[in-house]
Structure 1
Amino acid sequence: MKSLDFDFLKITWVNVIDIIVVAILLYYIYSLIKNTLAVNLLLGLLIIFLFYHLVTSLHMDLLSTIINKFMSVGILALVVIFQPEIRRFLLHIGKNTFLQKNKTWWGNLFGSKDLERDNLLRIKPIIDACKSMKKTRTGALIVFVKFYDDQLFANSCEIIESKISKRLLESIFQKHSPLHDGAVVIAENKIKSASCILPLTDNEKLPPQFGLRHRAGIGISENTDAVAVIISEETGEIAYAKQGRVRMNVSFGELEKLLNKDF
């Protein structure tokens, strides 16, 4: 009786690493597209793929040719369709690199105490403005970015280029102000622009009480490395959006820690 050959069952450490890397990539992709329209797009592409094989097996030449022409664009179509998800995927990877994770360690070598003191000076007028707007239930959306994208913001905003000020933030979001309807963008230790129109999130599972202000804050945090502070006009509650996720009922102490960490 001949012995069976089980060579195909041999697993090397390279195979294990390969499986782990693929699993990590699949997890990242899933975390980025869950609760978004990308899931529906993937299902649509899967249905088209299965339908193509069905009509091919039935020798329906005309339909096969049409679908084949559609599928021939392949990777280019996927890049166009999933451009926001690909952008978020690359941003997500960049945020989790070794250097980003250890920026605090680098800061300890080059004067982190000075940086922390400067951060507190920058954050204080923002916290004070949030306290005042929470008390008066003034709706606000403040976006913090590390790098100001002129193409993204300048085309839909009023340029301010001003020092961060409690009174300026309050006056911008005062309901009779012509600039109150939109977001304020803060970068490079300045109020760069106001009345900004931001992309809304595609997340279909957000609470129904979330209005355009919350959806815009979450949307900008999905598509860029920005974080957003949202003050509800109805309740005065403060929310904090980062990487497409939102933290509700943020206290001023928590807000200071979050901004000190991310800004």
Structure 2
Amino acid sequence: MPFADLTIMDYLSRIVDIFLVWFVIYKLIMIIRGTKAVQLLKGIFVIIIVWMLSDFFHLNTLSWMMETVIYWGFLAIIIIFQPELRRALEQLGRGKFFARSGIHEEEERKQRLDAITEAVSYMAKRRIGALISIERETGMGDYIETGIPLNSDLTPELLINIFIPNTPLHDGAVIIQKTQIAAAACYLPLSESPFISKELGTRHRAALGISEVTDSLTVIVSEETGSISITKNGELHRDLSLEKFQQLLGKELIDDNKAKQSSSSIWKRREKTENG
């Protein structure tokens, strides 16, 4: 239908149609973010791009192969993405699929900060070793799969209990997603940086390693000294007082927008103090 013949209702229906398609795609991306499905999705995009290029340059054999892959790809997607599709349907059944993601976000961040600070304060005083990684924008699904799934509410009591020595879950890292403890006893990649101090143990190397490959914040409590450290973007900030720890963590968790503008200066001042 020519644009000149479209009515206001036609324009509105098209706008609503585009918005709904965009919203559904956005929600699906949020569901699979941080899972292995992201890598599979990248592979699908590569196949589509190769198919378009082969068709453009008249590479007939390659174009036929890509068409065959895409033709049977729909069935393959259902099989490959079965866990993610099931999760999406479960969320739709619970009424969470179209829920607003920003509701109570500030309260959740405050709750997360208070729970972690209280647990770290307790463990530092008693020299209970801990390794706590906080997921941010980069998904940590692959690392969560290496541990024991908990999917429990984040409370200081539970965090402390996990890291009590000689308990089944005290080895490895706890990974936190929003206000939930996603998993415990998780394996984090060890940093191979040659500049790490020889006196640092496995927990610090693991915290640095995960900070090099994700944007997560990782908290370490030393079992030997009870000192508190944080890693972020491949940087380790050691021997923090509880007040400084809460300030740095609060800047990152409570207000992300302000953190992006001001936290870099705080971290730099901390680094200058340590090096000066």
TM-score range, shorter chain: 0.5 to 0.7
The percentage of aligned residue pairs carrying the same residue is 36
Specify the alignment match of 1:183 in structure 2.
Answer: 173
Task: Compute the RMSD of aligned alpha carbons.
Answer: 1.9
Report whether the alignment pairs 1:249 with 2:239.
yes
Match of 1:217 in 2: 207
1:15-38 superposed Cα distances (whole Å, 9 cap, x missing partner): xxxxxxxxxxxxxxxxxxxxxxxx
Q: Name the residue aligned to 1:124.
A: 114
Q: Is the 8 A contact 1:148 1:187 kept in 2?
A: no
Matched residue, 2:133: 143
d(CA) in 2 for partners of 1:255 and 1:116?
Answer: 19
Shift of 1:118: 4.2
Q: Which of 177, 185, 188 is 1:195 aligned to?
A: 185
Q: In the alignment, what sits opposite 2:194?
A: 204
For residues 133 and 154 of structure 1, what CA distance do their matches in structure 2 show?
23
Of 146, 156, 159, which residue of structure 1 is paired with 2:149? 159
Whether the 8 Å contact between 1:222 and 1:243 is mirrored in structure 2 is: yes
Rounded Cα–Cα distance in structure 2 between residues aligned with 1:121 and 1:224: 23
Q: What amino acid maps onto 2:240 in structure 1?
A: V
Q: CA deviation at 1:147?
A: 4.6
Deviation at 1:261, TM superposition (A): 2.2
Bigger relative CO (Cα 8 Å, ≥ 6 apart): 1
Give, as a single letter, the amino acid of the residue that structure 1 aligns with 2:247. Answer: K
Q: Could you tell me how far apart the structure 2 residues matched to 1:157 and 1:258 are?
A: 27
Q: How many residues align?
A: 151
Q: CA deviation at 1:255?
A: 1.7
Letter in 1 for 2:208: I
When structure 1 is superposed on structure 2, of 185-194 and 142-151 the one drifting more is 142-151
Q: CA deviation at 1:158?
A: 0.5
| Alignment partner, residue 80 of structure 1 | none
Query: Any conservation in 1 of the 2:219–2:231 contact (CA below 8 Å)?
Result: yes
Q: Judging changes above 3 Å, is the alpha-carbon distance between structure 1 residues 212 and 260 closer, same or farther for their aligned structure 2 residues?
A: same
Select which of 221, 228, 233 maps to 2:218.
228
Counterpart amino acid of 1:198? Answer: L
The correspondence for 1:240, drawn from 220, 230, 233, is 230
Please list the CA deviations of residues 103-124 of structure 1 after superposition, one character each: whole Å capped at 9, or x if unmatched: xxxxxxxxx9x75554322211
Q: Matches of 1:117 and 1:249 in 2, distance apart?
A: 28
Distance in 2 between the 1:253 and 1:188 partners?
Answer: 22
Q: 1:246 to 1:150 in 2, by over 3 A?
A: closer
The residue type equivalent to 2:197 in the other structure is: P
1:198/1:245 Cα in 2 relative to 1: closer, same or farther (>3 Å)? same
Q: By how many angstroms is 1:213 displaced?
A: 0.4
Aligned 8 A contact 1:219 1:244 in 2: yes
Asked if structure 1 preserves the Cα contact closer than 8 Å seen for 2:112 and 2:178, the reply is: no
Gaps of 5+ in 1: 1-111
3-state SS of 1:213 partner: helix
Partner of 1:50: none
Distance 1:154 1:247, change over 3 A: closer
Structure 1 position 151, deviation (Å)? 4.4
Measured at CA, do residues 147 and 190 of structure 1 come closer, stay the same or move farther in structure 2, by a change above 3 Å?
Answer: farther
Cα deviation for residue 251 of structure 1 reads 1.6
Q: Distance in 2 between matches of 1:143 and 1:249?
A: 18
1:46-61 counterparts in 2 under 5 A? none
Distance 2:207 2:178 in 1: 19
Give 3-state SS (helix, strand or coil) of 1:193's partner. strand
Encode CA deviations 1:85-142: one digit per residue, 9 max, x unaligned: xxxxxxxxxxxxxxxxxxxxxxxxxxx9x75554322211211111110111000000
CA offset at residue 205 of structure 1? 1.3
CA deviation string 1:33-69 (max 9, x = no partner): xxxxxxxxxxxxxxxxxxxxxxxxxxxxxxxxxxxxx
CA distance in 1: counterparts of 2:110 and 2:225, whole angstroms = 27
Question: 1 CA distance for matches of 2:106 and 2:144?
Answer: 30
